[in-house]
Structure 1
Amino acid sequence: MVDGHGKGEDVAAETAGTAQIGGALARLRRATGLPVAFGGLVEPGRHRMRISEFSGAATLALSGLAVTSGNGLGGKAVALARPYAVTDYSRSRRISHEYDAAVAEEGLRSVLAVPVVVRRRVRGVLYGALRTAQPLGDRTLNAAVEVARDVEQALVAGDEARELLTAARPGPGHGAERERVREAHAALRALAPRIADPALRAELLDACGLLTPADETHPGPGGPAPVLAPRELDVLACVAAGATNAATAERLGLRTETVKGYLRSAMRRLGAHTRGEAVATARRAGLLP
């Protein structure tokens, strides 16, 4: 049985995945020069993907098409978790031909399919196509693979963010609950700078804010609450979760001396003389959970 939280998380993951697939199609067309791109997600718990997103399509022939693993070009990419391309779809002997009618109605000839693989599981497929039969070279295929890799990184980041937020949900035991929240907050702050997509990065930082209740924000002793630079807050969040300077540096991809510099700067802004005092002041100010 799946609880309400689980269903909500599945819907959120699917919505985010669909958005990532849709957003990647224009990038795929720019990167490859192909006039048509489309794709979709593998349906959870099923051995098939459904084509739902399009860029440059002239008809609705492929809309909603369910592609079974192993069948056609996309199904082969799903089954083997590898990119494939055919020069003339309807005549290719490398694939099965369950979907020829829909492909022909859209007028597609040369087609490539690149799987989006996250944690060894195919989550979706990106297609690019020409309306003429001509070879799609390695440069075109490699460019499409790079776009798929970007989608994979975005989905990984989204999965990690949802897992961290789930771990931070209130549970029995106030102390244990607080530590989960603090660790999730630090991990989300460490994850955000790795995200190339500015919208997704902003979404992760907003999620960090959800872990710091607004009603815990208080002015500092001399007036308004102190303001920390993003990297200062990243470092202080790791310190608050119990990380050493070396561990913080590894987590954030920084040098240890750089971490120390950010920590000193944060302490000055907070009027603190020790790491512990800085963390306590930041918590009182509502900057950390």
Structure 2
Amino acid sequence: MPTPALLRPRDEDAVGAELRTVRSSLGVGLTFGGRVTGDTLHISELQGARTGGLRGLEVPAGFGLGGKVVAELWPRLITDYASARTITHQFDREVLSEGIRSVVAVPVIASGRPRAVLYAAVRGHAPLGARAVEVMTSAAKRLTTEFRIQDEVDRRLRLMGGAQEQPVHDAAAAEELRAAYGELRDIAASTTDPGLRSRLRGLCERLQGRAGEPPVALTDRETDVLAQIALGCSNVEAAERLGLKPETVKSYLRNAMQKLDARTRHQAVVNARRHGALP
């Protein structure tokens, strides 16, 4: 089964959202950036631009400020762009046409490689400083987390695709599908992207069994907990994975057991699968 294209939000959209947050937080006139493919940065997202010169700009690794960040995987702050001697100046026309004086660029690194670059810039004489670097670095870290989550979603979907191609009586394939389901619910619970969370929930619903018995009205959190219990997790382990307190997990599990008319954790999982609440 191929990975559904609609499941994965565009990297550019995530970059754009962080740039809006950064611009508001720092009060700067311009933020911009884009994703990195191979060793080239593609600038596609701009907030506060006065011209279209930066949009669509392709910056190879090692060239300009962004290319230096891609090559070194380290943030860079330039207090006076026009006179900076630590970068090459192939893109002066596009940058200076925006009136940029001071600019900071930070890389977004996931799975050991650069995935995007974020910039913040001011047009006045007061240069950016340490706070700008800190705010931008925090934004890059948030994006790193989102990209890692999306990468794990892709990996799990590929695994599930292979599992679903196996016969339904293949116990190993069924177990892999159930493990992937539990991991997807775990990812959905941890992501801060509401759109991604909604898509993951929808995918989980598609993976649930379709038994003939009437469905049980479990809440999302009750299903999250059961999915972890089905993987053999204790209450403490399930709490750690879901970002909950053990007492909260115990409460969700107790409610689910009541709804499923189950006396034990194992029976709750079995009954949930019979009702189609778990794969």
- Give me the identity figure in percent: 40
**Given the alignment of the two structures, is residue 113 of structure 1 paired with residue 105 of structure 2, yes or no?**
yes
**Equivalent of 2:52, from 42, 52, 60?**
60
Q: Does the 8 Å CA contact 2:228/2:238 hold for their aligned counterparts?
A: yes
**Given the alignment of the two structures, is residue 262 of structure 1 paired with residue 252 of structure 2, yes or no?**
yes
Paired position in structure 2 for 1:252: 242
Counterparts of 1:99 and 1:128, CA distance in 2: 16
Paired position in structure 2 for 1:149: 141
Counterparts of 1:80 and 1:206, CA distance in 2: 39
Counterparts of 1:206 and 1:38, CA distance in 2: 32
Shift of 1:37: 0.9
Paired position in structure 2 for 1:98: 90
Paired position in structure 2 for 1:277: 267
Cα-Cα RMSD? 2.2
Q: Does the 8 Å CA contact 1:58/1:106 hold for their aligned counterparts?
A: yes
**Given the alignment of the two structures, is residue 89 of structure 1 paired with residue 89 of structure 2, yes or no?**
no
Paired position in structure 1 for 2:23: 29
Paired position in structure 2 for 1:286: 276
Structure 2 residue ranges without an equivalent (≥5): none
Q: Does the 8 Å CA contact 2:7/2:196 hold for their aligned counterparts?
A: no
1:223-255 deviation per Cα after TM superposition (whole angstroms, max 9, x unaligned): xx2211222111111122333334323322344
SS state at 2:54 partner:
coil
Which stretch has the larger CA shift, 139-148 or 272-281? 272-281
1:258-283 deviation per Cα after TM superposition (whole angstroms, max 9, x unaligned): 43332222100111122232112211
Q: Does the 8 Å CA contact 1:87/1:111 hold for their aligned counterparts?
A: yes
User: Paired residues, what number?
Assistant: 275
1:173-208 deviation per Cα after TM superposition (whole angstroms, max 9, x unaligned): 522221111111111111222212222222222222
Counterparts of 2:150 and 2:195, CA distance in 1: 12
Counterparts of 1:89 and 1:49, CA distance in 2: 19
**Equivalent of 2:228, from 238, 245, 250?**
238
Residues 36/246 of structure 1: CA separation in 2 closer, same or farther (3 Å cut): same
Counterparts of 1:103 and 1:12, CA distance in 2: 35
Q: Does the 8 Å CA contact 2:211/2:275 hold for their aligned counterparts?
A: yes
SS state at 1:168 partner:
helix
Q: Does the 8 Å CA contact 2:104/2:132 hold for their aligned counterparts?
A: no
Q: Does the 8 Å CA contact 1:36/1:57 hold for their aligned counterparts?
A: yes
**Given the alignment of the two structures, is residue 137 of structure 1 paired with residue 133 of structure 2, yes or no?**
no
Structure 1 residue ranges without an equivalent (≥5): none
Which stretch has the larger CA shift, 59-68 or 170-179? 170-179
TM-score (norm 2): 0.90
